[in-house]
A and B are shown apart, each in its own frame.
Chain A
Amino acid sequence: MSDWKEEVEEVVFPGKICVPYTWTVGSTMSKWYVLMRDEGQIWANRCPSCGKVYIPPKAKCLECYRDVNDWVRLPGTGTVETFTVVHYEEPSMHPKKPPFAYGIIRMDGADTGFVHLIDEIEPEKIKVGMRVEAVMSEERSGNILDIKYFRPID
């Protein structure tokens, strides 16, 4: 396998693609982000046909394909359905230094899981079924980190 190295000079071009992007949030999600940014509130929406409550909100119900137009405000509390504690470092992607925890939270009043960070607790003490509440950021700019993280209650 190594004999080709005598005949072939390895030529590899370095490359970097520079394409700037912007992503349109859209009518449904912009309403959700604006309520979070300006009012510090967490909302969901409900399918008028099957009654399923979605957070994050949906434009169309997955099952019914109906426009989801009924908005409901959630109290901001919920239950940890599952979680992990991250120990490896990925500075270009992670919002903070490890170790930190994230998981899926079933918000009170919603029928879908919500993905976010879990903090203000030592990672080894986090448990499935634990009750948590959302902590809003003081400076909010209309993105998913306007919710700073979820922390334990009780």
Chain B
Amino acid sequence: MGRRVGIVGVGQTHHASHRLDASGMELIAEAVTRALDDAQITRDEIDAIVIGNMDHFENINYVDMWAVEGLGAFMKPVFKVTTGGTTGTTIAACAFYHVASGLFDRVLAVGWEKNSESDTQAAIATCANPVLERDPFAGAIGPLATEYSMYMKAYGATEEDAALVAVRDRNNALNNPYAHNRMKVTVEDVMNSPMLSYPIKFLDMCPRSDGACAVIFASEEYAKKMCPRPAWVHASVVRHDYTHFGDLEWQWMPTLERASAEAYKKAGITNPLKEFDVAELYLPASTTGVKWMDSLWFCERGEAPKLIRKGVFEMDGELPINPSGGVISTNPIGATGLIRVGEAAWQIMGKAGDRQVPNVRKALATGFGGCSWSDVMILGADLP
């Protein structure tokens, strides 16, 4: 089981499409400085650091070497973790393992990306098998579009259902000063935006951002001393499946189903829709904000469109999703998953500013990436 672990500090950069004022190292320094300030500690009180980003994205690979200055990692143990889109949540899981193991008391988790430095789609295509899939099925948009086509056909979901999710997340971002895209949009705006890959349109899809996020994990003993209201980790679960894109189940999301079921079991959650007060979900396109609600056990398979149309996941609904504006508003890819964890922690800690949901006791954070992989972390105000 390991030791109890709490989140005691969170920091993030102001995200943008091009942060030309800051190098990758300086973005990292900005997030780390803010997380240390949030926890009211100095770098001397950090025992180990976990950092990650996407392979190939900046063509400068040893971030655990050249970012030492910004990380405050001089003469400390540093571990690099990279698992594709899930990198940010895997960094959080890895930092949690460090503390839960009993080997480290205070661990700094850092995710970052400088998408402005490369061609994101060209870089991301390097994850696909070069002798088989890179030509016919690569990139981030196509596979997501393909899975929603199947979901629409199977359950009668519509493009408008996805547009409702896009409108929710994008308008939520207006309350988040760190968000990259902050624009008021309507369903009509989304439906009229340029088609990227049927049925995904421009305003359905995440941007590419420059940014970084840092989250500090501490053991129970330290967390109680350091923080009046830590966000306790109740469960952290990771599931991978891929062998070949054609092998995957596309009508639902097996890794998310299995990871969330295991996490709910660990955290004693039996009715996730009722028991969670807020969720920060890695939804790379608005379509996933429809389809994956089934896979998080909020409803029976195929029932998600009804919940979306009823406004269950709006800020004033039963379970607000993505008060931050989510991934379609902000996407510095190696940081994106960690931002979910950090935002969920701030919701528990009562530090979420204008996007705060009142009285959050339990929060859900997820990561998506690699090839349909899922990470799930559950945070709570009470000791697990």
Chain A residues within 8 Å of B, Cβ to Cβ: 13, 15, 17-29, 58-60, 62-63, 65
Q: Give the distance in Å from the alpha carbon of A59 to the alpha carbon of B25 in the complex.
A: 9
Q: Give the distance in Å from the alpha carbon of A43 to the alpha carbon of B84 in the complex.
A: 39
User: B265 within 8 Å of A by Cβ?
Assistant: no
Contacts of A23 in B (CB 8 A): 23, 58, 60, 117
Q: Give the distance in Å from the alpha carbon of A18 to the alpha carbon of B118 in the complex.
A: 11
Contacts of B21 in A (CB 8 A): 26-27
Inter-chain contact B117/A22, CB cutoff 8 Å: yes
10 closest cross-chain pairs (CB), A and B:
A26-B23, A62-B74, A65-B43, A65-B72, A19-B122, A26-B26, A21-B59, A21-B118, A60-B69, A24-B23
Contacts of A20 in B (CB 8 A): 118-119, 122
Q: List 12 A-B contacts (CB under 8 A).
A: A13-B131, A17-B122, A19-B126, A20-B118, A21-B59, A22-B117, A24-B22, A24-B116, A26-B26, A28-B23, A59-B25, A60-B72
Contacts of B56 in A (CB 8 A): 17, 19
Contacts of B60 in A (CB 8 A): 23
Shortest distance between the CB of A16 and any CB in chain B (Å): 11
**Do A21 and B117 form a contact, CB below 8 Å, given A15-B130, A59-B70, A60-B29?**
yes
B contact residues, total (Cβ < 8 Å): 31
Contacts of B23 in A (CB 8 A): 23-26, 28-29
Inter-chain contact A19/B59, CB cutoff 8 Å: yes
Residues of chain B from 1 to 40 with CB closer than 8 A to chain A in the complex: 19-26, 29
Q: Give the distance in Å from the alpha carbon of A25 to the alpha carbon of B56 in the complex.
A: 18
Contacts of A63 in B (CB 8 A): 74
User: B42 within 8 Å of A by Cβ?
Assistant: yes
Count: A-B pairs, CB below 8 Å? 66
Pick the residue among B22, B43, B68, B72 that contacts A26 (CB under 8 A): B22
Contacts of B74 in A (CB 8 A): 62-63
Shortest distance between the CB of B197 and any CB in chain A (Å): 20
Inter-chain contact B59/A24, CB cutoff 8 Å: no
Nearest neighbor of A29 in chain B, beta-carbon distance = B23
Inter-chain contact B29/A24, CB cutoff 8 Å: no
Shortest distance between the CB of B246 and any CB in chain A (Å): 19
Q: Give the distance in Å from the alpha carbon of A29 to the alpha carbon of B26 in the complex.
A: 10
Shortest distance between the CB of B24 and any CB in chain A (Å): 7
Q: Give the distance in Å from the alpha carbon of A24 to the alpha carbon of B126 in the complex.
A: 23
Q: Give the distance in Å from the alpha carbon of A29 to the alpha carbon of B123 in the complex.
A: 26
**Do A24 and B118 form a contact, CB below 8 Å, given A19-B56, A60-B29?**
no
Contacts of B210 in A (CB 8 A): 24
Contacts of B118 in A (CB 8 A): 19-22
Pick the residue among B20, B22, B69, B117 that contacts A62 (CB under 8 A): B69
Nearest neighbor of B72 in chain A, beta-carbon distance = A65
Nearest neighbor of A19 in chain B, beta-carbon distance = B122
Q: A19-B118, A59-B26, A62-B68 are in contact. List 4 more A-B contacts (CB 8 A).
A: A13-B130, A19-B122, A28-B23, A58-B69
Cβ contacts B117-142/A at 8 Å (1 or 0 each): 11100110010001100000000000
Contacts of B70 in A (CB 8 A): 59-60
Shortest distance between the CB of B61 and any CB in chain A (Å): 12
User: B114 within 8 Å of A by Cβ?
Assistant: yes
